Amino acid sequence: MATTSESVDLVGQESTRNLARAALFAALVGAFAYVSFPFPLSPAPVTLQVLGVFLTGVLLGPVWGATALVIYLAAGALGAPIFAGGAGGIGHLVGATAGYLWSYPVAAGIIGFVVHRGPTLRDLETVGVPTLVGGLIAGTVVIYAAGVTGLTLVLGLGPVEATVQGALVFLPAEAAKIAAVIGIVRSDALVAV
């Protein structure tokens, strides 16, 4: 009596690789959150988190980019010290900067969708700079629209005051982050990704 056994893959290699990349980018955004300092013109601090969101959307695409940022929010809500300045806990998802945080998965998904022109990843060498800039600007609009809404709801700021303090004062920094992402994407440093 002979028995045979077959190997069954419960999760494919591609899914495993994508999940690992999503976890890596969630950690990257968390690491970028440590670069944080108070900004006197805004109740929200200046951080490098948005740079991480940009890179996540561009490099992982809409599906896995959004997944990475959901992992990031879940880890932070569970207490991992990965929000601005090394903070953690669910309270940050309902506090003054909650709008920004909740927007990250949506922004990464939109950036990835615009850059890759759909849910499937394209070779980034075929993506033009105008498309990259367009995707990053779309992501920026999502992040700051949600951030301003959060400041309005949580802190009771008026719409003009919230827009100035929650978005307009950050635009020069966002322009620099967009330029940095384009430089990174166009460099030879991404061969391992």
pLDDT 10s digits, 109-133:
999 999 999 999 999 999 999 999 9
Instruction: Judge whether 56 and 68 are in contact, CB under 8 Å.
Output: yes
pLDDT digits (tens, 9 = 90+) for 57-81: 999 999 999 999 999 999 999 999 9
Which of 35-39, 41-45, 166-170 is modeled with the greatest confidence? Answer: 166-170
User: Residue 9 has which token pair?
Assistant: 């893959």
Per-residue pLDDT, 40:
83
- β 46-47/36-37 pair status: antiparallel
Q: For residue 135, what is the enclosing H or E element?
A: helix 129-155
Mean pLDDT of all residues in 43-52: 91
Residue 50's closest CA among 71, 17, 67, 28?
28
Q: 160-171: b or e for each residue (b if 16 or more CB lie within 10 Å)?
A: eebbebbbebbe
**Environment class of 178 (CB within 10 Å of its CB; exposed 0-12, middle 13-18, buried 19+):** buried
- pLDDT(34) > 70: yes
pTM across the whole model: 0.90
CB-hemisphere CA count at 13 Å for 120? 1
User: Residue 94 has which token pair?
Assistant: 């309902």
- pLDDT(104) > 80: yes
Per-residue pLDDT, 11:
62
